Structure 1
């Protein structure tokens, strides 16, 4: 990891004008992201920044627009939204040297939590874009069985949680958070041991019936669940958390401990630190940054120093 670098142009009073592209998906967060983007843009312009507001028609269009912005040269590519929008932006900035900024406006906001960004305050997030510093951090990289290749910033997971996400995406009722809660109940009722095979970078093979396996570049997913509580986003390694199969009642007692990160002390949990892991399990999909990636098997690696991100000074 290189040391933190002062952001160029962080003092508009000295005449500098930061070129900021502010990317938004209008469908994200029920329109909340677009409102946050407007408030952040007003603050940025009031402080002398040059802001280009960009709205993607859909997620694919957002990635295209973000890549075009990076290719044309900007100081910061900022996204207003949650972890899904951050995941889209990663594909545009990974390895380019262009800094990523975040105006948190999602449900989970795990990237924002990891880097200490202000939640629920678009003006404060805009101030970070101008007054903050950039740090160089790692990204995860995953390739799934269908050939999909993606970077991720937080956690990749497969098992019970990915089954819940699959079912949530299939349900058409109810709406919002209740749909996810219903999916949890249905999948919990069908909970079964899931045979996994994991191959680590040093050749270690882990074959277990699992509840889930998670590879973390950062500590949390799902809105603050500390699934990989000791992960370091700049150590060149992934933290792997493996939860062995257990009876339903024990699972119900287990999951609340994930929010505190104390689950790693349970006898059913194994943790590893590795530069790569191959994750195999029949009929299971992988999700990263809360978004669907593809079916297992998946080759998961770390991309050291692949991201520059703006954080509070």
Structure 2
């Protein structure tokens, strides 16, 4: 299996090739039709190239629309392209208020998916800013997710509750943290026991077409439509996982931007209420406590992975642990649930 460094090097070579105006004129410009602009005039900006997944490049032809090219390190790109086509055909496409990002082409020779850029502003852009704009964005995000979760389609391999709970990933990260910070062991054991109790109440077999990585940064809202990107991991899965990831990311973002987590309660409640009313199926949130608590535990371990425990860093660690512990307990006690 190639190392991250090797993957980054190989992807970097492909990025350099596809960023050349001559290549873009020959391969990508035909996808744009009348929107193409003048030949030979392109802007290309690397958005992501770290070797941990697909490389992403923002493209723009002179006078044309913004595009994104994703170059995959494996053979998954074609299936993702087809999945986007299928999701749009199933009810998240042209003419709809709620849409999946539009795929324009897939070039197997370069493992490259080309999509149109989503219009509007990401919900994440309003975190720490205009509260009313954030509330509007959160509501639209909940309606988009409800639309996806109620589609009568299934694409991809179903993901079990054990897999969607990412407990093995949590265990790997926890081992690293306890080695670096032995003092974290007592709290970690308490949180594991609490998760065990919640796990006893979970329900198996709740499957909808999920997003797989539903976050405020992936939801774009304009006057005409709501467009969601990064559906690479979309597959049949427990609906509460998408819901938990969104509200967890929302609350973490608001805390790190402003420090007062109470400001996140209103948008959190709005998202959950809007989603629940739109899906009309209480069982969709049956496992919300489990997934949400697990996300909090996972994030805490991630925050604790680096740094020492003395001086200013020690004070920061104490504050971080207290914040995550409070969020964890609030979720388990049901204070944040609809």
TM-score band (shorter)? under 0.3
Larger radius of gyration: 2
Q: TM-score, normalised by structure 2?
A: 0.26
Q: TM-score, normalised by structure 1?
A: 0.27
**Higher RCO structure, 1 or 2 (CA under 8 Å, sep 6+):** 1
**Larger helix proportion of the pair:** 2
**Larger strand proportion of the pair:** 1
